[in-house]
Amino acid sequence: MTTTSEETHEIEELVLKEAVISATGLDAGALQIGIKGDPSLRETAPLRDRYQSILDERFDEIGPSLERLLTHRSAYQLFIGFNNAEVRTYSIFDPLREEIHSAEKLLDKKYIERHFPEIPFEEKITMMRELYNFIFQSSHYKHVPSYWRKIIDRRHQAWQPMSIEEIGQICRTLAVLRDLENYYLRNVTISIVQSVVRMQFNCDGTQFVRAQDFKQFIEDNLP
C-alpha cells in the first residue's frame, strides 16, 4: 500500500500528537503534562502513613551518588523508587538492558566503581549520537516507515541532551519533593536522552516535565 505525501504528513502529525510524550519529547508549548490515577488514592493520601526507606534516611549521602551516575558515569537514565529504595539504571555501554540496584549499595564507592564505569559527560553525549548514527546506517532501518524517518531525522538534528546543570538542580530538589506534607514524591525517572523528568506522587498522579522547565515547575508548585 502506497501513500501520498499529504497522507504521510497527516500520519506524521498524528504520531506526534497521539503519545503522551512523542518521539520528539514533551510538547514545547506545555510546561508539564499530568496524568491522574485512582481518585480514591488522592482522597486517602493524607491518611496513609509515610514509609521511610533508606533513601529517605540517607539521601544526603545517596543523592550525590545518583547525580554522579548521570554526570560522570555510564548511566543515561535513572528510575528512583523512594518507597522501596529501588534504583533502575540504563547504561550507555549496554543500552538495551535495565539493571536494578538497592539504593543502599550506592553508599559503597567500590560498588559504584564496579557497576558504573566512569566516562566524561561530553563523551557520553557523543556516544549517544554515534549510537543513533549506527542505527540510521543499518540495513534494518529500511523497516522504519517514511513518516517515522522524518520525525527521527528532525529530532536527531535538533537534539540537545539534558545539561549537567539541569541534572544537578533536579537531583538536589528530589528530597524537597519527597518531604512535601501531603502529596509527596513516590518515584522519579530522569532521562538525559529525552530531557524529561517523570514524577509519580503518593496520590497516584504522574507529572512529566521538561528538564529546562523543571525550575519553573518547582516555583509554581512548591508552597
3-state secondary structure at position 82: coil
> Which residue range is the domain that position 162 belongs to?
5-221
Amino acid (1-letter code) at residue 117: P
pLDDT band at 86 (very low <50, low <70, confident <90, very high): very high
pLDDT above 70 (res 113): yes
For the question of whether the overall pTM of this predicted structure is more than 0.85, the answer is no
Higher pLDDT, 94 or 18: 94
Number of domains in the chain: 1
pLDDT given for residue 31 in this prediction:
43
Distance of alpha carbon 126 from alpha carbon 169, whole angstroms: 23
Cβ pair 24, 155 in contact under 8 A: yes
Instruction: State how far the Cα of 183 lies from the Cα of 56, in Å rounded to an integer.
Output: 16
Question: Average per-residue pLDDT in the chain?
Answer: 83
The CA-based dihedral angle spanning residues 134, 136, 142, 146, taken in that order and rounded to the nearest 10 degrees: 170
pLDDT, tens only, 148-181:
888 888 888 888 899 999 999 999 999 988 888 7
Burial per residue of 135-158, b for 16 or more beta-carbon CB atoms within 10 angstroms, e otherwise: eeeeeeeeeeeebeeebbeeeeee
- Could you tell me the pLDDT band of residue 35, with boundaries at 50, 70 and 90? very low
Res. 212 pLDDT band, cuts 50 70 90: confident
Q: What secondary structure letter does DSSP report for 25?
A: B
